[in-house]
Amino acid sequence: MSSEQTFIAIKPDGVQRGLVSSIMSRFENKGYKLVGIKLTNASEGLLREHYADLTAKPFFPGLLNYMLSGPICAMVWEGKDAVKTGRVLLGATNPLAALPGTIRGDYAIDVGRNVCHGSDSVENAKKEIALWFKPTEIVSYTPAVFKWIYE
Ligand code: IDP
Ligand code: MG
Residue pLDDT, tens place only, 61-85:
999 999 999 999 999 999 999 999 9
Q: How far apart are CA 94 and CA 71, in angstroms?
A: 22
Using the predicted structure, report yes or no on whether residue 1 has a pLDDT greater than 60. no
If one counts every other C-beta atom within 10 angstroms of the C-beta of residue 151, the result is 4
Question: What are 76-130's pLDDT values in tens digits?
Answer: 999 999 999 999 999 999 999 999 999 999 999 999 999 999 999 999 999 999 9
pTM above 0.85, yes or no: yes
Cβ of 60 below 6 Å from ligand 1: no
Interacting residues of 114 by C-beta distance below 8 A, sequence separation 6+: 11, 93, 94, 95, 104, 108
Q: Which of 61, 45, 53, 47 lies closest to 11, judged by CA?
A: 47
Cβ of 117 below 6 Å from ligand 1: yes
Cβ of 121 below 6 Å from ligand 1: no
Give the per-residue pLDDT at 2: 81
Closest atom of ligand 1 relative to the 114 alpha carbon? 16
Q: Where would I find the H helices in 7-53? A: 12-16, 20-30, 44-50
Question: What are 22-35's pLDDT values in tens digits?
Answer: 999 999 999 999 99
